[in-house]
Structure 1
């Protein structure tokens, strides 16, 4: 049946309207695309054009590094810094009298501009003063200072592991310890950091300008993502292995089970103090130790909410207030091991109260109290083992019944592994809800260690000699 003239006219009208709307849509899309292109240019890293809120010098830096180090620029353009116009020169530019100041970059050579490949917390604190101050009160801040201050650790890395070899003695520290603890960074004659002290992502780096800390340990450069820092992987690169297997412990816990099942679907980009249950179903490391929940404020002092020192040979309550390693270094230039009992400024009870607030955002009060009651008992049980073991080592030492080379001494090696490996796993497993580490990798191993040490002790005390 042929359409009537009225229907035929209506169909032509509809076709015309559709064509008009499509043309309009294409025009809007093309204009929007043209404006976007006009605004940011081709945003592939090597052709990045910058036009918003930057000086001519800043633009030159970005455009040059888009060619020379495109990975850096690609990260930067996705970052909050890139969105608000904080550019290379804002972080890497330094005053002429800065100990790190140089003109090694061809783009500034011969100008009045000085730069440094290193960016210390003294730069970060210009915009993030609270975060830097909180960090300086934490155990993280003493990472490099602690390693440098302990003669035993220096001897282990350089003389024992490094064989005191003139060429190779620095490699154990450079490739291992300092990659997590950080280093005291030194510069060569050209103001370039030395291979023995940089590059690294160590949390406690000490910079030539006196700054201490390393924000990019958790917020990797040049994106500095808050989402990245909130995921367990940010902590896992350092908190793993036989002496502090925290990522393994987390995975063994119910929290880790939930995260590993569905954590890729959670929301991680909420503003500080607004990242709350609902964005996630189980805590990550950052949730418990740093994040603002309820009336708790976000903190970069990871020691603040802790009750015990659970990495030391004997666990003590954290009643030492703020850590003092950074403030001592800044005031006197003296390198110290800091305060191993640093925690909440009002003591361990206040620290535990804050941690319990975190738990109660998802759990009942009874659940929280019962969990910590038994976890605390497991820490105290560890102390029973450790005090007996240390008493035996101290008496053998006093009576001259320990080998001069302690790393060859069976008694010393049992003691060291008892507290530094098995003992840490026992305590950390208990306080983070990981049964396999609290028991099989923890207290079960300790009861074996103490028996082995007793046998060595009894033999030496009875014979008055060191066995061969």
Structure 2
């Protein structure tokens, strides 16, 4: 028996010894690989060597050299002078101090195009490169001091800079000097440098979405430095901004034209189907097809199509809300209640677009530039809170405030609106809708919608509006057929055909228990201690009787002090 135990122990020890040896061999192999792996040898010669040596010796922009050494440029022996070369007469040409080297201070897309011709041409045809508002918008020219725009709007919109050499754009707005890293360009926060804030909170919308949520959870596991030029499968499991707008997949080539996949001009005062470079990029349906083919890399076709159709109807709905703003602002201008800014025969505030010195203009500007964009962009980019509370809720509030302003100044129609107690007054515009959503069937959510519960012809009216948009070319044939499929079976997609009364009753019971607890713990409570302030009485320091006695006593003390006595007759 003892011999068997010893034999077993030896066997176990032997097995563990083998396993330990294997582990040690693996560790040694990994460590050996680490020690034998070396960074690429960066050879610096000729003029480039002079540049690097001088900058290093003088301690000038040394980090830029370190960054360059990490770049693909350095690996491919593309050095300083290859990008910074200049000729006499160039707008940015200068001699480095104490040297005879003529260099260009600002490499432009014209320089980049020597190696990256396709990317530069694609960028130059995008809306990134043509943000002409910088030279024409009144908010910049009259409402803000110019110095505020230098590091403000110009810092971001410099991506569309028009250089003296007539090239357009700033490549290092996305690809940082001097690494020109693809990984940094793909990082969502790179786009978020500009696509942020109250007027276009795209980075916030992205981080709110399931896309951003998953990216944050797995960011450290993702290598964003990949190439997407060869119609390859998307190598990361969740998209960043560039995945949808620029990178390619099995069906789509990558592009630097961020307009190539956009079906709406949804940043504008009105939402309209894009016609940007339609002769080269195709119409909005072609552009939407490109975007959908990227989305379908991860999502089912049905989900993608229903989601985009719903977002498209949001854009159309925004137009009808804006139409109400235009109606009221033009009416108030005609009646003389609001006026345009004017000097030397030139008007400085388009009443339909902007204006800042009167409340209706202010509200209308925000309803487009802030709330209206958030409503539309949140719907397109899966940002529920930006569609709802930062979007439509505040957009509706702007409209209500505008009409109230008109009523306070005597407009009869506005006064009638304010005095109305009918709930439908909050939607004085045509309605778009779709039965259900892309997420599933909710058998309870449509039982309380005011308009179609109280208006038997609700869906008939909506049908006419959607059909009209389709006939005007704002919805595709496929979208119209998809909408009709849901319309003809709306009781299913709305969930109204399903009996869930027992579930509803169950949650009603739970809610009743909750409500009872709230009433007992809060609503019906009345604290016994007296308040320190009561309306109509002011600050309550003491009760009235005590207060009266105290006042008499203090008055007597004051009189006695003046006479040099106290109530007791002794001198103080």
TM-score (norm. length: structure 1): 0.73
Q: 1:100 touches 1:209 (CA, 8 Å); kept in 2?
A: no
Q: 1:393 touches 1:411 (CA, 8 Å); kept in 2?
A: yes
Counterpart CA distance in 1 for 2:378 and 2:315 is 10
Q: 2:233 touches 2:250 (CA, 8 Å); kept in 1?
A: no
Which of 289, 294, 309 pairs up with 1:373?
309
User: Superposition pairs for residues 215-234 of structure 1, below 5 Å?
Assistant: 215-234=171-190
Which of 120, 126, 129 pairs up with 2:117?
129
Q: 1:140 touches 1:204 (CA, 8 Å); kept in 2?
A: yes
In the other structure, the counterpart of 1:435 is 384
Matched, 1:250 2:206: yes
C-alpha deviation, 1:394, in angstroms? 2.2
In the other structure, the counterpart of 1:153 is 139
Work out the number of aligned pairs and report it.
367
CA 1:296 to 1:138, structure 2 compared with 1: closer, same or farther past 3 Å? same
SS at match of 1:115: strand
C-alpha deviation, 1:374, in angstroms? 0.9
Q: 2:231 touches 2:250 (CA, 8 Å); kept in 1?
A: no
CA 1:344 to 1:416, structure 2 compared with 1: closer, same or farther past 3 Å? farther
Which of 42, 50, 61 pairs up with 1:60?
50
Which of 221, 238, 241 pairs up with 2:197?
241
User: Superposition pairs for residues 8-87 of structure 1, below 5 Å?
Assistant: 51=43, 54=45, 56-67=46-57, 68-87=60-79
C-alpha deviation, 1:62, in angstroms? 1.9
SS at match of 1:94: coil
Q: 2:234 touches 2:249 (CA, 8 Å); kept in 1?
A: no
In the other structure, the counterpart of 2:291 is 355
SS at match of 1:95: coil
Q: 1:263 touches 1:280 (CA, 8 Å); kept in 2?
A: no
SS at match of 1:240: coil
SS at match of 2:94: coil
C-alpha deviation, 1:272, in angstroms? 2.8
Which of 251, 257, 260 pairs up with 1:304?
260
Q: 1:382 touches 1:423 (CA, 8 Å); kept in 2?
A: yes
Matched, 1:172 2:112: no
C-alpha distance after superposition, 1:19-50 (max 9, x if no partner):
xxxxxx9xx99x989xx89x95xxxxxxxxx6
In the other structure, the counterpart of 2:358 is 409
Q: 1:304 touches 1:344 (CA, 8 Å); kept in 2?
A: no
SS at match of 2:236: coil
Counterpart CA distance in 1 for 2:231 and 2:53 is 35
C-alpha deviation, 1:101, in angstroms? 1.7
Any unmatched runs of 5+ in structure 1?
1-24, 41-49, 163-169, 183-202, 323-342
In the other structure, the counterpart of 2:248 is 292
Counterpart CA distance in 1 for 2:280 and 2:370 is 26
Q: 2:43 touches 2:77 (CA, 8 Å); kept in 1?
A: no
SS at match of 2:184: helix
Matched, 1:92 2:84: yes
C-alpha deviation, 1:459, in angstroms? 4.6
Counterpart CA distance in 2 for 1:274 and 1:71 is 33
Larger radius of gyration: 2
TM-score (norm. length: structure 2): 0.61
Matched, 1:206 2:162: yes
Counterpart CA distance in 1 for 2:258 and 2:121 is 12
Counterpart CA distance in 2 for 1:280 and 1:134 is 24
Q: 1:318 touches 1:344 (CA, 8 Å); kept in 2?
A: no
More contact order relative to length (CA 8 Å, sep ≥ 6): 1
CA RMSD in angstroms, aligned pairs only? 2.6
SS at match of 1:408: coil
